[in-house]
């Protein structure tokens, strides 16, 4: 007597029902994305340690100008803000607008410290305009953002 072939046995066993493929794919892509963000955070930690060593050598061994030491300190603050952004992304799975605006502000201030304009010119006006725009974006965001929402921390 011949029996009908078993329909439950296929050459390629699928453990995910066809209705859950999108959900499983999204879950795997989110895990891959989290792995990339964690890798970026690890690289950023190494860069922060290198920047800290550079700051120590600039301040104590090379006796550089205070502007260069301050610029290195502000660079460390930028790196810390970027690290906070990555941690926030891992927790919330979205990018915080407020944190990104703060990173942009600190980065631009570092550029102003590092390359201080001596005479009024296009670079000075561009820096002033950029800081004014970022500052107005920060003020607008804080004015319209609900203070009970915990966006950045």
Handedness of CA 124, 126, 129, 135 (dihedral sign): negative
Nearest to 75 by CA among 44, 37, 118: 44
Per residue in 37-53, pLDDT (tens digit) is: 999 999 999 999 999 99
Question: What is residue 39's predicted lDDT score, i.e. its pLDDT?
Answer: 96
Nearest to 41 by CA among 75, 92, 80, 94: 80
Question: What is residue 1's predicted lDDT score, i.e. its pLDDT?
Answer: 52
As given in the structure block, the two tokens for residue 89 are 């992304």
Domain ranges for the chain, please list them. 22-144
Instruction: Say if residues 76 and 52 touch (Cβ distance below 8 Å).
Output: yes
Cα–Cα distance for residue pair 99/76, rounded to 1 Å:
15
Q: Find the DSSP H helices in 115-153.
A: 122-144
Per residue in 118-149, pLDDT (tens digit) is: 777 888 888 888 889 988 988 888 888 766 55
Put simply, whether the predicted model's pTM sits higher than 0.75 gets the answer no
């Amino acid at each position: 007597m011949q029996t009908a072939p078993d329909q439950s046995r296929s050459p390629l066993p699928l453990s995910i029902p066809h209705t859950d493929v999108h959900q499983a794919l999204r879950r795997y892509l989110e895990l891959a994305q989290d792995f990339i963000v964690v890798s970026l955070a690890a690289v950023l930690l190494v860069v922060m340690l290198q920047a800290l060593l550079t700051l120590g050598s600039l301040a104590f061994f090379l006796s550089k100008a205070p502007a260069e030491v301050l610029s290195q300190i502000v660079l460390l603050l930028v790196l810390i803000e970027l690290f906070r952004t990555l941690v926030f992304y891992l927790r919330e799975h979205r990018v915080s607008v407020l944190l990104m605006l703060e990173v942009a502000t600190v980065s631009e201030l570092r550029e102003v410290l590092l390359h201080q304009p001596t005479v009024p010119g296009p670079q000075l006006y561009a820096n002033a305009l950029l800081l004014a725009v970022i500052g107005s974006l920060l003020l607008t965001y804080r004015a319209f953002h609900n203070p009970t929402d915990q966006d950045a921390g």
